[in-house]
Amino acid sequence: MPAMHYTLRWPDASETTCYSPSLVIQDYFQPGQAYALQDFIQRLREATAIANERVQAKFGFTCSRAGDQLDRVETLVRRWAEQPGARVEVVGFSPAH
């Protein structure tokens, strides 16, 4: 199953490289696009759920790394939740090695 990394840019211009066990993440985000925090996290939750369903179907278990990654991103989203107009940009995608 092809996995990938995606890079996020936060309101303070810091960047985080994240992991997805499936290419489905590309169906939910466009490189260079910035998303309002709630829209972003809703999309990410849905994409992660689908990715985990695919992993479950292929291997018989979900991807704990994907769940951990979602938890870390949710923590970062909460950091910016009180900032009016805060957005997270999806910088790009790259293959996981």
Q: Quote the CA–CA distance of 47 and 64 in Å, as a whole number.
A: 15
Tell whether pTM > 0.85.
yes
Closest CA to 1 of 83, 85, 60: 60
What confidence tens digit (pLDDT) does each residue in 1-31 have? 689 999 999 999 999 999 999 999 999 999 9
What confidence tens digit (pLDDT) does each residue in 28-86 have? 999 999 999 999 999 999 999 999 999 999 999 888 999 999 999 999 999 999 999 99
